[in-house]
Structure 1
Amino acid sequence: MSELNVGVEPERGAFQGKFVYVKNFKIDTIVFSAGFVPFCNVPVCRANCCYWGVYVDLKEREKILAHKDLILKFMDETQPKDVELWFEKEEWEDPDFPSGKCVGTNVYNDKCVFLTKEGYCVLQVSAVNSGMHQWALKPFYCCIYPLTFWEGALTYDDDHAEDLPYCGLRATHNHAGPVIEICKDEFIYVLGEDGYAELLRIYDEWKKLKNK
């Protein structure tokens, strides 16, 4: 997803204050210190992070609608079968999206339209059951949570996680380690295998400096 490098400064030395740089990505060092749970346990958390809907790039909306017949097969009775109800009407300008614009998914029955009654993302369910990669239809920011891009920087979505009871900031009793170590797949999705390896190297340097 290198197309998400919106507004990122050129690569330079490892440490530049609060941020580090890998490839062309500007990365907030909060990912080295913020804790996270060992995995997303949907039966326990009921997908609290998704309940309010999510913003998607306009091209992601197009992809989802292009697969509407497939997705409808896996929706349950708590989800809207009318595709006109899937997305909000208003579009927003946001430089952290590839097209520079995004749109929100609607909330239906007090949850994101794409959440099943069990709390699973129907976009991921549809992809997996059709032999696609699990994230083939899922919006980018859903795939990389708890990571996000903010003002061009890859960071931990601490604002969104403020009050989440299972994996949030205050649920330290559930944390298994820092985001950089726990969220390997998410980092690789953004940075690639080589980028994640480089970030881990910088993380090791960061730990040495912190321990001095």
Structure 2
Amino acid sequence: MFQLGKTIVSEDILGKEFVCNLSACHGACCVDGDAGAPLSEAETKILEEIYPKVKPYLRKEGIAAIEAQGTWVTGTDGELETPLIDNKDCAYVIFDGKTALCGIEQAYNEGIVDWKKPVSCHLYPIRIKDFTEFAAVNYDKWDICDAACSLGKELEVPVYKFVKEALVRKFGEDWYAELEVIATEWEKQKHKF
């Protein structure tokens, strides 16, 4: 672990490798698990605002879940998150064949909304946990992403580079530039031993 500004960062984001491999996993992270995507309070307001524009992109099951539960929910752990369809798929999931995609991101890609998707989704496999004085930035190992780990290793792409756009979105350009300096030094130290 190392400190970067008001974050405590796991070295795993420097040392682990990762590149999403949708052809292997088919977007399982959007349909597996026991909770929706983590949301910030600000994101709940964005979801409420953009829902009418995103709704035409969603499946009828997703629309029904959102209209029954709301555009966001409070999970069993008290955290804010996206609603689920029958405690499984994220309500915002759409499919291209058998591959799960994000309906919000589809609307974004078509210029309908200017918000890509929840930051937690964009950051994955990094998870952020906010505390009073700092945020913890951790790598989340999930077996459904084994193909992404293999592809990342094959392509030699560390986690922090794979999620660069999302890290910049969350913490800013300056934070990411400092992370790159730390990563370069970390890499040099690793090869000394």
Bin for the TM-score computed over the shorter chain: 0.7 to 0.9
Alignment RMSD: 2.6
Q: 1:46 to 1:140 in 2, by over 3 A?
A: same
**Could you tell me how far 1:202 is from its partner in structure 2?**
0.9
The answer for unaligned runs of 5 or more in structure 2 is: none
Q: 2:159 aligns with which of 163, 176, 179?
A: 179
**Could you tell me how far 1:132 is from its partner in structure 2?**
3.9
8 Å contact kept, 1:56–1:105 = no
Name the CA distance, whole Å, in 2 between partners of 1:89 and 1:184.
Answer: 29
| Greater per-residue helix proportion | 2
Q: 1:102 aligns with which of 66, 76, 80?
A: 80
SS in 1 for 2:137: strand
2:140 matches 1:157: yes
Name the CA distance, whole Å, in 2 between partners of 1:196 and 1:24.
Answer: 13
**Could you tell me how far 1:201 is from its partner in structure 2?**
0.8
Name the CA distance, whole Å, in 1 between partners of 2:152 and 2:4.
Answer: 29
Aligned to 1:143: 122
Q: 1:83 to 1:42 in 2, by over 3 A?
A: farther
Counterpart AA for 2:118: P
Name the CA distance, whole Å, in 1 between partners of 2:122 and 2:137.
Answer: 14
Aligned to 2:89: 111
Q: 1:131 to 1:117 in 2, by over 3 A?
A: closer
2:191 matches 1:207: no
Q: 1:108 to 1:117 in 2, by over 3 A?
A: farther
Aligned to 1:5: none
Aligned to 2:109: 128
Aligned to 1:46: 26
Of residues 103-112 and 177-186 in structure 1, the stretch that sits farther from structure 2 once superposed is 103-112
**Could you tell me how far 1:88 is from its partner in structure 2?**
4.4
8 Å contact kept, 1:56–1:102 = yes
**Could you tell me how far 1:182 is from its partner in structure 2?**
2.6
Aligned to 2:57: 74
Name the CA distance, whole Å, in 2 between partners of 1:92 and 1:36.
Answer: 28
Name the CA distance, whole Å, in 1 between partners of 2:112 and 2:91.
Answer: 23
**Could you tell me how far 1:58 is from its partner in structure 2?**
3.9
**Could you tell me how far 1:127 is from its partner in structure 2?**
2.4
